[in-house]
Chain A
Amino acid sequence: MQNLFLLLFAGYIGGLLLPLCFPTKPAVQNILAHGSAGLASGAGILLGVTGLFAPEPWTASVQSTIPFLSFAVRLDSLASLFVLTISLVGLVASIYAIGYVTEFYGRASIAALGALFNGFLLSMTLVVIADNGFFFLIVWELMSLLSYFLVVTEYEKAEVRYAGFFYLVMTHVGTAFIILAFLIFFQAGGSFSFEAFRHPEQPLPEGIRTLVFLMALIGFGTKAGIVPLHVWLPYAHPSAPSHISALMSGVMIKTAIYALVRVYFDFLGGQFPWWWGFIVLVIGAVSALLGVMYALMEHDLKSLLAYHSVENIGIILLGIGAGMIFQTYGLTEFAALGLLAGLYHTINHAMFKALLFLGAGSLLYATHTRNMEEYGGLLRRMPWTGAFFLIGAVSISALPPTNGFVSEWLIFQSLFLSFHLPTVLLKFMLPLAAAALALTSVLALACFAKAFGISFLALPRSSHARLAEEVPITMRIAMGLLAVVCVLLGLAPMVVVPMLDRVVTPFAGQSIEGKVLALDGWALAPVNMEFSSLSTPVLALLLVALSMLGLGLVAAFGGLVKQRYYKTWGCGINLTPRMEYTATGFVQPIKRVFGAIYQPTVKLETELLEESRYFAKRRHFEFHIEPVFQKYLYDPVVACFIGMAERLRVIQGGSLHLYLAYIFVTLIVLLLFAV
């Protein structure tokens, strides 16, 4: 394992440095950077798999001269799972990037882009295997900064700079809370090593543990994008180049999920009051619902996908929250199930979200716009991209027999097991969370019917879409790989569940593989066949067989009459793209029904013809959604800071003498304290 890790390390570092040796040849830089990253992530995949099945965690460390800091790594099953996920998406993103970054030749430095890409992947891998709090914070910060630089790749655009700045501020607020949480552990254990975090010399008092819980929730929650700390995400993720967006939405936000599981179940030993799990559950439900609702109103394809990341983080937290609640009441079997379901969804989301972002990148590559209203009819021009995007869309909409469905189904089952809980409040709230999940998933379905339908079907809505061409082969291979992974994750839960079980067992104290899998792995049956069962391979076979039956019925009852092609009836005139339903029109009923949440403002100005007021000469339509969180939560805080800064400005005299006086006064005050 050591060799694999060194190969991974060398690969990423090589990808970081090698392109810099060829300063004038972007094509060479591209191949070197992304080839090297591909190699390293390939090693990462092997590392993850061997780590998952290793009997003992692999550890290694290099001591440093800085006190409390040691570059210690530890690859236990939880870390291995995330290394595997990061590397898999990393590999695909590397293949994709070879084709995709040709876009940036001459516009941005490919060497810099490639170096940042490699550094970003390396830092994410190190985050999940770090075994020392200090080291963790360093690589965490590195990950944040590198992703910031990647976000501002197209820094010449003002909105990109704004997105980058917003991200930078938010991520540092989050990091501040993480540092506080780690300092509390440090105080108790006297060391930054994770082993000391796990087993402090004297156990943390209850109040302090609660403080750690909240700090970690806010700190890591900011990175994960939970509501209301999600506001930066829909700005930052879409602004980055698409393969970076795929990494950020697919895996970077998952490092926060990793860290939450690590802190709650590992460091705090899975001992918590019921309301911790309840808070996580409520945050999960709210994030899921608001995430998908805001996604529905987005017509910028990449922003839409970014909001779906908020939604899916919410779904993951529903599983983890349910697991935490069960853990409180000693129902370890169900706790393991909830955690397992949450982690299953974590992997699934990494795969289909990366796939969808790569698909969106392909559309951007082909049409040079992110506005969905300018797409249309792309399935005919880009059949491969379209088919892969459809697989991603079906997966994220949790439709059987795809991977998204399997993990959401498991989360449903763990929420339904709530009738074993002793308190009526929880018995009642968990099914409500299930109802929220149902609403979320059906709204996601509507959202992706819109995203796919408006982008890929019907007539092209602009010349961009009319002139679009299929993307280069490397980009198609990358998307195809992810599509295959999505399908496999759905059809082969018997392979995935034992892997996840190895991750969950140490935390929940119980292996549930035998309880989740039934019929030699052909069916999922938590907790037993009596309670529930699902077999996606059989469902898939059934769907194929019944489609064949449909074909057979057609042949039997009518014979295959040759079909006739004719233009769509447009009420007597020729159909034009302007007569098609738009994305805005599609979601209008939803906007109206959930008006209380959106608080939309619609402005319609009509300029009438002078001759007759029944005919309009020009119409201007505008609609906005109230950015509730920004307006009522963030703006006041920002205004407060700026106000304070304005006040403090008076001390900035601009004169050297004044500043010397300040230093002198400070010194006196300090001396007074010292006495």
Chain B
Amino acid sequence: MLQAIILVVAQMIVLLAVSPFLVGLIRKVKARLQLRRGASVLQPYADLAKLFRKQPVVSTTTSWIFTATPYIVFASTLAAGLLIPIFVSITPLDFAGNIIAVVYLLALGTFFLMLAGLDAGSSFGGMGSSREAIVASLTEPAMILSIFAIALTKGSTNLSTIVHKTALLEGIATDPSPYLMALAALLIVALAETGRVPVDNPATHLELTMIHEAMVLEYSGRYLALIEWAAGLKLAVFLSLIANVFAPWGIATTLAPTAMGIGLLAYLLKVSGLAVLIGILESMFAKLRLFRVTDLLGVAFILALLGLLFFYILRS
């Protein structure tokens, strides 16, 4: 019991600590590709520290939803993060929820962010919420299908089981194509869900092109700090999911200290690698028009569907 609690707390600290770093790393990569030196990768930590100390301004139009939302979003995103294996393949909280629970915990945060966007009464927030609604609607089916394609190969929807089995090279399919399809689909979903180019631009300064940033436009001070941290956490959750489900190598399959040390190191390397990849992808593509996003997410859905089909055809 005590061991389990320590592991959960350790996982929480790792996630909280690593998420601003990932945001900073992506920014750094983008800056370097634009031939700028860019801010230090540690800049997001400084930003958070500053925001926490600033006096928040709250709109007189708002209700308690507006002030409660940052806490709910923070809690639900972090809870989702605690359900997935990070550096140990069997997470103690695995019994509390499988991959569907992770998806729906993230949806809980999205729901309250959409409400908060509407609460201040400005058009920008409403616009953000409205766009978030369509992006979320289109990502969800692709996400569920790609998850199912992965779950099939391992005969389980529990993340720890999937990761543990893959790490121990159990039931590895001889043909990797279902995996690849699901991976591609999940990568597109991750870009869309975390508000990245080509779906959304986290660095934009124009309200009319924003999605996530427009929803949280009215936030300031500690509320903004929590929201930003939660956004970073969501990125970390998706990257960890992709890294550990598709390439769990190095993850600790036992609770030996050395194994966990290696696991932590391997985890940091993997998510950093993915963050660099996202930075490169963001530099390669322009943001899509909102109504072209549909096509991209349609592709993700078809890919996941093909992954499923391939699995059955290859097996029969």
Task: Give chain A residues whose Cβ lies under 8 Å from the Cβ of B138.
Answer: 593
A84 interface residue, CB < 8 Å from B?
Answer: no
Q: Report whether B71 and A550 are in contact in the complex, using a CB–CB cutoff of 8 Å.
A: yes
Assess whether A532 is in contact with B98, with CB atoms less than 8 Å apart.
yes
Nearest chain-A residue to B120 (Cβ)?
Answer: A568
B287 in the interface, Cβ–Cβ < 8 Å? no
A565 touches B141 (CB 8 A): no
Q: Are B136 and A445 interface neighbours, CB within 8 A?
A: yes
Residue interface bits A480-509, CB-to-B below 8 A is 1, else 0: 000000000000000000000000000000
Instruction: Indicate if B95 sits at the interface (CB-CB under 8 A).
Output: yes
Q: Across the interface, which residues of B come within 8 angstroms of A441, CB to CB?
A: 140
B-contact bits for A587-621, CB 8 A (1 contact / 0 none): 11110110000000000000000000000000000
B118 with A449: CB separation less than 8 A: yes
The residue that A428 contacts in the complex, of B114, B290, B312, with Cβ under 8 A, is B312
User: Are B134 and A589 in contact (CB-based, < 8 A)?
Assistant: yes
Q: Which of B101, B111, B126, B156 contacts A539 (CB 8 A)?
A: B101
Please, how many angstroms separate the alpha-carbon atoms of A618 and B6 in the complex?
A: 66
User: Judging by beta carbons under 8 Å apart, are B75 and A550 in contact?
Assistant: yes
Distance between A402 CB and nearest chain B CB, rounded to angstroms: 9
Distance, CA A534 to CA B100, complexed state (A) = 9
List residues of chain B with CB within 8 A of the CB of A400: 97, 101, 104-105, 108
User: Which residues does chain A contribute within 8 Å of B258, judged by CB atoms?
Assistant: none
A535 and B130 contact, CB distance less than 8 A: no
Interface residues of B in 110-149 (CB under 8 A from A): 110-111, 114-115, 117-123, 125-127, 129-131, 133-134, 136-138, 140-141, 143-145, 148
B54 touches A561 (CB 8 A): yes
Of B56, B74, B308, which one neighbours A563 at CB under 8 angstroms? B56
Question: Chain A interface secondary structure, helix, strand, loop or mixed?
Answer: helix
Q: Which residue from chain B places its CB closest to the CB of A442 in the assembled complex?
A: B140
Residues 501-524 of chain A, each 1 if its beta carbon lies under 8 Å from chain B, else 0: 000000000000000001100010
* Chain B minimum-CB-distance residue to A556: B52
A221 adjacent to chain B (CB < 8 Å)? no
Known contacts: A431-B308, A459-B61. The answer to whether A568 contacts B122 by CB under 8 A is: yes
* A457 and B291 form a contact (CB under 8 A): no
B106 to chain A, nearest CB (A): 10
Which residues of B83-103 are within 8 A (CB) of A?
93-98, 100-101, 103
Q: Is the CB of A581 within 8 A of B126?
A: yes
Q: How far is the CA of A538 from the CA of B141 in the complex (A)?
A: 26
Task: Tell me if A456 is interfacial: C-beta within 8 Å of chain B.
Answer: yes
Point out the residues of chain A lying under 8 angstroms from B301, CB to CB: 435
B185 to chain A, nearest CB (A): 12
Interface size range of chain B in the complex: 35 or more
Asked if A563 and B72 sit within 8 Å, CB to CB, the answer is no
What 0/1 pattern do residues 58 to 76 of B give for CB contact below 8 A with A? 1111111100001110111
Among the listed A456, A570, A593, which residue makes an inter-chain contact with B63, where contact means beta carbons less than 8 Å apart? Answer: A456
Q: Cβ of A562 and Cβ of B137 under 8 Å apart?
A: no
The answer to whether A589 touches B130, judged by C-beta atoms less than 8 angstroms apart, is: yes
Whether the Cβ atoms of A416 and B137 lie closer than 8 Å is no
A interface residue count range (under 10 / 10 to 19 / 20 to 34 / 35 or more): 35 or more
Expressed in whole angstroms, the Cα–Cα distance for A37 and B243 within the complex equals 59
Whose C-beta in chain B lies nearest to the C-beta of A563? B56
A592 to B133, CA, bound (A): 13
A590–B291 CA distance with the chains assembled, in angstroms: 10
A205 in the interface (beta carbon within 8 A): no
The docked-state distance in angstroms from the alpha carbon of A436 to that of B312 is 20
How many whole Å from B237's CB to the nearest CB in chain A?
Answer: 13
**B209 contacts chain A at the CB level, 8 A cutoff:** no
User: Contact partner of B137 among A563, A575, A590, A592, CB < 8 A?
Assistant: A590
Given A431-B145, A449-B118, A550-B71, residue A586 in contact with residue B95 (CB < 8 A): no
* Chain B positions within 8 Å of A525 at CB level: 95
Contact status of A531 and B61, CB under 8 A, knowing A445-B107, A550-B74, A592-B291:
no
B145-168 interface bits toward A, Cβ cutoff 8 Å, 1 = contact, 0 = none: 100100110011110010000000
Question: In the bound complex, do residue B111 and residue A535 qualify as a contact, i.e. CB atoms below 8 Å apart?
Answer: no
For residue A419, CB closer than 8 A to chain B, the reply is yes
Q: Is A569 at the interface (CB under 8 A from chain B)? A: yes
Q: Which residues of B contact A416 (CB under 8 A)?
A: 148, 151, 157
Give the distance in Å from the alpha carbon of A416 to the alpha carbon of B301 in the complex: 17
**Known contacts A379-B63, A530-B156: A535-B96 contact under CB 8 Å:** yes
| Max chain A Cβ within 10 angstroms of own Cβ: one of B60, B130, B158 | B130
Interface string of B179-212 (1 = CB under 8 A from A): 0000000000000000000000000000000000
Chain B nearest CB: distance from A674 CB in Å? 64
B281 at the interface (CB under 8 A from A): no
- The residue of chain B having its C-beta at the shortest distance from the C-beta of A554 within the complex is B222
Chain B residues, CB < 8 A from A48: none
Known: A435-B301, A546-B79. 14 other contacts (CB 8 A): A397-B111, A409-B101, A416-B157, A445-B111, A448-B111, A453-B129, A457-B115, A458-B119, A564-B56, A567-B59, A570-B122, A575-B121, A579-B122, A593-B291
List 30 interface pairs A-B (beta carbons < 8 Å), by A numbering.
Answer: A380-B63, A394-B111, A400-B97, A428-B312, A445-B107, A445-B133, A445-B136, A446-B136, A449-B114, A453-B117, A456-B63, A457-B119, A458-B118, A458-B121, A530-B161, A535-B96, A539-B105, A542-B96, A549-B75, A557-B225, A561-B221, A561-B222, A562-B55, A567-B59, A567-B60, A580-B123, A581-B129, A581-B130, A589-B133, A593-B134
